[in-house]
Chain A
Amino acid sequence: MNTDHTHDMQPDGLQSAPLATPAPRLRRGGAVMQFVVGFGLIVAAWVFGVVARVAQRQLPPLPPSDVVPPAQFEQLYGEAWDYVNSEFYGDRPAPAAITDGAVEGMVEALDDPWALVATPAAGAQRVGSTDGAVGHGSTSDDPLSPVFVAPLGLWIVETSRGARVLAIVPDGVAAEAGIAAGDLIVRAENGSGTDAIPTPTPAATEKAAADGHDPVTSGDRLPPVAVVLADGTMPDVEVVVARDDTSIFARTLTRSVESAVPDGPGVALDGDVLRIRLAHLMPGAAADLAALLAATGQRQLSSVILDLRDNPGGSRTELAQVAGHFMTGTVWIERARDDEAPIEHPAEAPGDGPSLTAADLIVVVNGGTGDEAEMLAAALREARGARLVGEATFGHGTLQSLREIGRLQLRLTTGTWQSPGGNDIAETGIAPDVVVEGRAEQDAAALSLTTAASKAQAADGGG
């Protein structure tokens, strides 16, 4: 390239001698000029060097004009990627895979405990698509909804860091292994787990090499934790569980044949007391409850006990409908960002069935009461005067939203929710009015409250 610029001066063939003669004259005419030209050529060559390098770089494209990129993104990502592109031994993945990886890495950097990037690659083996293990009510095409893993007796939701345990079935496999709501299952491996290192088999490598694949890329990214958990093909699954970011422990869970099923709503009449058990608020829960309530017939009830223990929530649509059986008005307040006005979400009036808005209401909660179930408990206390019995709830005070971005689905924490009275539930969850531990004790306490408290019903409105 640089030779182009010297071409004018370059003699070719026999003409060299005559052309050369002006040289001394030039020297006489202007050494300065010569110097300037020479220096200019050198600078030009340097610039060409820079341009050639820049043109050769493999950088990510500039962001759209309305996007401010993260600090030094172009520079650092460019440097890293350029080096990998020119030096990396293995096969280059498809550009889409690299972009997806960048999005996943970026989202992980947010440190959002509920975030998830669902890529098409992982989608092929997503939990939602494995039938049988998926609980009642969860929609199979939404990778982001909670999943009930029946053989292990636990509710999980997939996040970028692993599977977050939302609730566990009492006496289930997970419960007996000491896993609790709020734990994060960071790894899960099927099988006996005696061979922890994935040793490549020579035969497989041989074959890959013969197929023209390079031997560096292993091609066996671990499937998402949630997928392994929901996969029921092996009797045992080895899990590594992180609790409160302070302790890590490993357990071997043996899948139960008699799967613990998350019951749908259950309704039982006990004299004047109606007991309602809600195991989750997944799609369909409200309709099931309405049908059950309708079946009890229209009669005057003095007390209702609503059992929300180990209810991980589910859908906010269901929440609004279920709340409608018990109360009117605002159920929860959604707060996106500081600069946006809060949105109040009201209860939805139920079609038919007995009206429970007047009955004395006791709500039983525990550490597995999470998300929409917590919202329900808080709303019933504040807007309905219900009394809460049991243990502090899970404490999921944030709201997540799902977005489709190209081929990716991105779940992010986009705000917080507040109770009708404007209270945040921090990480601590909702403290019950009457603290009782142990399931039987909680049941007894709830019952004693209903009968004993019928006189003092209107005395305190709660929160």
Chain B
Amino acid sequence: MRYFLRLTLLFVVALVVLLFAFALGYRSADRLDPALTARLEALVARRADGGAALGARAPDAAANGADSDAASSSPTDPTTTADPAAPTADGLADAGFDTFWSAWKAITDTYGSELPDSKVITYGAIRGSLRALNDPYTLFSDPVDTEIQRPELEGEFSGIGAFVNQNDQGQLVIQTPMRGQPAEKAGIKSGDIVLKVDGRDIAGLETNEAVLLIRGKKGTRVVLTLLREGTPEPFDVGVVRDTIKVPSVNTARLLSEEGAPTVGYIELTVFAQETRDEMRTAIRDLREAGMQALVLDLRNNPGGYLNAAIGVTSEFVESGVVTYREDRAGVRNEERVVPGGTAYDVPLVVLVNGGSASASEIVAGAIRDHDRGVLVGEQTFGKGSVQNVHHLSDGSELRVTVEIWRTPDGSLIHRRGIAPTILVTPPPQPTPLPTPTGATPAPSATPEPTPSPAATAVDGAGSAGDVAAPDDAGAGDAPDADAPPDVQLERAVQEALRLLGAR
């Protein structure tokens, strides 16, 4: 019996060790020499594409076939001419990727100019394949792009502290200088057009490229050549770069001017790491000033960190689920309220619009489903998917949509958005802002140089946690002196007063 026990123990230990070794092997396989794993694959011969893979090795008819001039081409081989109406059969036949190899062979054989670095070709192929997924949030970024985005990932960078945008002439426009940051201190104004950066003409540069020029080491100086309406000649402005932290609470005040001194107003522009702390401070200050009800403005807030969304919700909701993450298999992970909120009892009105996305929608959905407040405004954007960042072996990065969000009562956010409790549509503006075609389906199109945590995916909490920003839907309502009255805010104040009266 003693031997039996000892043997069992030995066996269990051995099993654990072997399992561990197996797991180690499984996990390290991706880092092994590709040549070795390729050979192993050949041995295993159990590729995803099965037999077709072997088929691809056969002499390729398509590559040797129709090679003709554009003007005189008359492809005759019916097997190579696909019927667009019935791509399925062809698709199956092509599971072996042979079309790709034929195309590559055609390029290497006949391309008239010098081929780019062949890694670029690989990157292009990956990008193209991802596009076939039809998901604007699943993206590839090569090592260079990844490096450019790194400061944003780290959540801190140094620059001048201004939101920028592109106008319909493709020029870089200062959308809003951030309060108290170098740009504002240097006198840069909303609407200024940036022509040159340190003497370099930035016409034709992508927004991101221009932004990279403006950014730089803390303490260094950058000279911007600006064009301002009403000033005939462009002029230079020197700005000393500083570390930029984006405050998420843009405004926190009592709505005394609006005739409701008991109603507080907090505008959140983004969901960043510090957002919950900033919210707490704002709530505390407003309370001390006499706030009894709160209007939380999430309009044009493109989102940010999941944790911040949970934090903000947790200020108002005492317990329960903030949101569910649901993967492809339908498995749900719940994200629960973090205890310690400071405004469970404050009547709440949340302002939303088509520019409220992602984390904003999580908050709005949770407030709605917990019946914790009233949503006023317009249908939200509808960005409710979670991206994971996957690092490839050469430093490239892949952001892949892996999960979607659901609100506490299970409704889907993605491509639907959250409907407001009270729909208030602002009257059409006399001069609509020229947003030529903001519809590039990439979240990176968000036109801000800020670290917008929105644009990143790394979430310390270890959850998949990225809530990426969509395009700046309807954004761009820069504060304007003679702006039309904010009917949505007016309605929100009415609601807040009604809630107060109902208590």
Chain A positions within 8 Å of B, measured between CB atoms, are: 1-3, 5-6, 9-11, 16-17, 20-21, 23, 38, 41-43, 45-55, 57-81, 83-85, 87-90, 92-112, 117, 120-121, 123-124, 142, 144-145, 187, 189, 193-194, 196-200, 202, 205-206, 209, 214-221, 238, 240, 245-250, 315-317, 336-337, 398-408, 410-416
19 more contacts with CB within 8 A, not counting A3-B15, A74-B38, A84-B133, are A2-B18, A54-B44, A62-B38, A64-B105, A72-B394, A76-B119, A83-B390, A87-B390, A92-B133, A96-B87, A109-B125, A110-B121, A142-B73, A198-B439, A215-B404, A403-B67, A412-B111, A412-B112, A413-B112
In the complex, which residue of chain B has the Cβ closest to the Cβ of A372?
B71
State in angstroms the CA–CA spacing of A96 and B398 once bound together. Answer: 21
Whether B104 contacts A67 by the Cβ 8 Å rule is yes
B70: chain A residues within 8 A (beta carbon): 142, 144-145, 400-402, 411
Q: How far is the CB of A461 from chain B (nearest CB, A)?
A: 30
B144 interface residue (CB < 8 Å to A) = no
Whether B112 contacts A403 by the Cβ 8 Å rule is no
Whether A412 contacts B134 by the Cβ 8 Å rule is no
Give per-residue flags for B389-402: 1 if the beta carbon is below 8 A from chain A beta carbons, else 0: 01011101010111
Give per-residue flags for B69-105: 1 if the beta carbon is below 8 A from chain A beta carbons, else 0: 1111101010011111101101110111111111111
Whether B437 contacts A240 by the Cβ 8 Å rule is yes
Q: How far is the CB of A269 from chain B (nearest CB, A)?
A: 31
Overall SS of chain A's interface: mixed
Q: How far is the CB of B469 from chain A (nearest CB, A)?
A: 13
A123: chain B residues within 8 A (beta carbon): 84
State in angstroms the CA–CA spacing of A23 and B96 once bound together. Answer: 53
Give per-residue flags for B117-160: 1 if the beta carbon is below 8 A from chain A beta carbons, else 0: 11111111111111111111110100000000000000000000
Question: Among the listed B69, B84, B170, which residue makes an inter-chain contact with A124, where contact means beta carbons less than 8 Å apart?
Answer: B84
Whether B67 contacts A62 by the Cβ 8 Å rule is no
Q: Which 6 A-B pairs have the closest CB atoms?
A: A105-B128, A49-B25, A109-B124, A407-B82, A96-B91, A248-B170
Question: Among the listed A53, A73, A97, A111, which residue makes an inter-chain contact with B29, where contact means beta carbons less than 8 Å apart?
Answer: A53
B318 interface residue (CB < 8 Å to A) = no
State in angstroms the CA–CA spacing of A90 and B415 once bound together. Answer: 13
Whether B415 contacts A88 by the Cβ 8 Å rule is no
B277 interface residue (CB < 8 Å to A) = no
Q: How far is the CB of B209 from chain A (nearest CB, A)?
A: 12
Whether B3 contacts A50 by the Cβ 8 Å rule is no
Q: With A77-B122, A99-B99 in contact, do A401 and B110 touch (Cβ < 8 Å)? A: yes
12 A–B contact pairs at CB < 8 A?
Answer: A2-B21, A17-B3, A21-B3, A49-B28, A61-B96, A62-B56, A64-B56, A106-B104, A193-B437, A206-B416, A215-B416, A336-B110
A97: chain B residues within 8 A (beta carbon): 91, 132
B463 interface residue (CB < 8 Å to A) = no
State in angstroms the CA–CA spacing of A42 and B24 once bound together. Answer: 10
Q: With A16-B4, A66-B105 in contact, do A54 and B414 touch (Cβ < 8 Å)? A: no
Question: Among the listed A49, A67, A105, A402, which residue makes an inter-chain contact with B22, where contact means beta carbons less than 8 Å apart?
Answer: A49
B117: chain A residues within 8 A (beta carbon): 71
A202: chain B residues within 8 A (beta carbon): 379, 416-417, 419
A107: chain B residues within 8 A (beta carbon): 103, 107, 124
Whether A46 contacts B22 by the Cβ 8 Å rule is yes
A214: chain B residues within 8 A (beta carbon): 328
Question: Among the listed A17, A96, A315, which residue makes an inter-chain contact with B90, where contact means beta carbons less than 8 Å apart?
Answer: A96
Question: Among the listed A76, A85, A246, A250, which residue makes an inter-chain contact with B392, where contact means beta carbons less than 8 Å apart?
Answer: A76
State in angstroms the CA–CA spacing of A106 and B40 once bound together. Answer: 28
Whether B41 contacts A402 by the Cβ 8 Å rule is no
Whether A205 contacts B7 by the Cβ 8 Å rule is no
B498: chain A residues within 8 A (beta carbon): none
Whether B122 contacts A70 by the Cβ 8 Å rule is yes
State in angstroms the CA–CA spacing of A67 and B65 once bound together. Answer: 16
Whether A197 contacts B354 by the Cβ 8 Å rule is yes
Question: Among the listed B37, B81, B129, which residue makes an inter-chain contact with A81, where contact means beta carbons less than 8 Å apart?
Answer: B129
Q: How far is the CB of A391 from chain B (nearest CB, A)?
A: 24
B105: chain A residues within 8 A (beta carbon): 64, 66-67
A47: chain B residues within 8 A (beta carbon): 25
Of A16, A90, A202, chain B has the most CB atoms within 10 Å of the CB of A90
Which residues of B (1-55) have their CB < 8 Å from a CB of A?
Answer: 1, 3-4, 6-7, 11, 14-15, 17-19, 21-30, 32, 34, 37-38, 40-44, 46-49, 52-54
Q: With A17-B1, A197-B473 in contact, do A96 and B94 touch (Cβ < 8 Å)? A: yes
Whether B110 contacts A404 by the Cβ 8 Å rule is no
Whether A43 contacts B21 by the Cβ 8 Å rule is yes
Whether A401 contacts B68 by the Cβ 8 Å rule is yes
B252 interface residue (CB < 8 Å to A) = no
Q: With A42-B21, A103-B128, A249-B169 in contact, do A405 and B99 touch (Cβ < 8 Å)? A: yes
Q: How far is the CB of B61 from chain A (nearest CB, A)?
A: 9
State in angstroms the CA–CA spacing of A262 and B463 once bound together. Answer: 61
Whether B18 contacts A6 by the Cβ 8 Å rule is yes
Whether B92 contacts A196 by the Cβ 8 Å rule is no
In the complex, which residue of chain B has the Cβ closest to the Cβ of A335?
B112
B421: chain A residues within 8 A (beta carbon): none
Q: How far is the CB of B364 from chain A (nearest CB, A)?
A: 15
